[in-house]
Amino acid sequence: MLDRFNRNITYLRISVTDRCNLRCVYCMPAEGIELMDHQDILSFDEIVEVCKTAVSLGVNKVRLTGGEPLVRKGIVELVRMIANIDGIRDLSLTTNGILLSKYADELKKAGLMRINISLDTLDPDEYSRITRGGDIKKVIQGIVAAQKAGLYPVKLNAVVFDKNDEATRESLQMFAKDMNLELRFITQMSLETGEFSVVEGGTGGDCKHCNRIRLTPDGYIKPCLFSNIGYNVRKLGAKEAILKAVENKPKVGVTCSNGNFYNIGG
Ligand code: SAM
Ligand code: SF4
């Protein structure tokens, strides 16, 4: 699918839930969020239908995200259903890693190919502060389990707060090297004010070469993280919603005031 600016749209990112078992300071308020109505959340069959339609239109890469994808009940089954769609060459998932040691093996067996784990620091207290209570030991166990299960590559996503925090960066770099992990730094962004940046060592944030569309848990296809535009797959049907999103994909992202990282997926 070519958009108006000749970008070939091949990548669908699916936020499978707005729920999360952490409350990262840059993502969610301490008191949590107003959750989407249960009946608005797409069923697995609906998500798979969107995927199949997207693949028939040229998508070949799918990532599951959230909220925290591993808190969605039956996530392994969803991975299996998506992995069985002919034409998906790359199926991955982004997680905070807290529940990963429990699921890594099953996810791999269900057809997940690779995984990104979010980890901003190696200091247990700082991790607990950033995530408002998260236990870093579980994330490390999750990383080890992912590698043991054969998910490859395992990538680390680290949000950088202060460009000058070299010590944190260096310790993450050393850890990544020791553990054979690919590390990407993401500068903290704000959807509302439109502060966004290119992901160091990754492909996000580069509008000129953006090949993405996104599906929200409640069924909107969004052409851009930094835009209020969204097309509802229940109202329009998956094909129409996808085509409209691609047709209206903005040249560059500006701002988004009707969504958040936790319900669009980052
Ligand atoms: N819960 C999963 C996780 O944390 O990996 C998946 C969803 S989370 C919204 C996806 C990514 O978005 C994470 O790597 C997270 O660090 C990033 N993220 C969340 N809020 C952000 C912000 N304000 N600026 C930059 N990245 C952000
Ligand atoms: Fe949850 Fe991920 Fe947002 Fe942290 S970044 S609150 S783990 S969705």
| pLDDT tens, the chain, 266 aa long | 999 999 999 999 999 999 999 999 999 999 988 899 999 999 999 999 999 999 999 999 999 999 999 999 999 999 999 999 999 999 999 999 999 999 999 999 999 999 999 999 999 999 999 999 999 999 999 999 999 999 999 999 999 877 668 999 999 999 999 999 999 998 888 887 767 666 665 666 688 999 999 999 999 999 998 889 999 999 999 999 999 999 999 998 878 887 788 778 77
Instruction: Check: pTM over 0.75? Answer yes or no.
Output: yes
Ligand 1 centroid–CA 66 distance in Å is 9
23 is a domain residue: yes
71 is a domain residue: yes
107 is a domain residue: yes
In this structure, the strands spanning 231-232 and 212-215 are unpaired
The CATH number that applies at residue 238 is 3.20.20.70
158 is a domain residue: yes
Ligand 2 centroid–CA 197 distance in Å is 19
pLDDT digits (tens, 9 = 90+) for 116-139: 999 999 999 999 999 999 999 999
5 is a domain residue: no
pLDDT digits (tens, 9 = 90+) for 67-101: 999 999 999 999 999 999 999 999 999 999 999 99
Q: Which of 18, 19, 28 to mutate to test the pocket of ligand 2 (most atoms within 8 A of CB)?
A: 28
> What helix, strand, coil percent values describe the chain, rounded to 5?
35, 20, 45
Index of the ligand 2 atom closest to the CA of residue 27 = 3
| Best CA proximity match to 109, nearest among 169, 150, 162 | 150
User: What number of other Cβ atoms are within 10 A of residue 33's Cβ?
Assistant: 16
Distances 146 to 134, 165, 240, 260 between C-alpha atoms, Å: 19, 28, 37, 28
Number of domains into which the chain is organized: 1
Q: Is the distance from CB of 242 to CB of 213 less than 8 angstroms?
A: yes
Q: Which domain holds residue 166?
A: 11-260
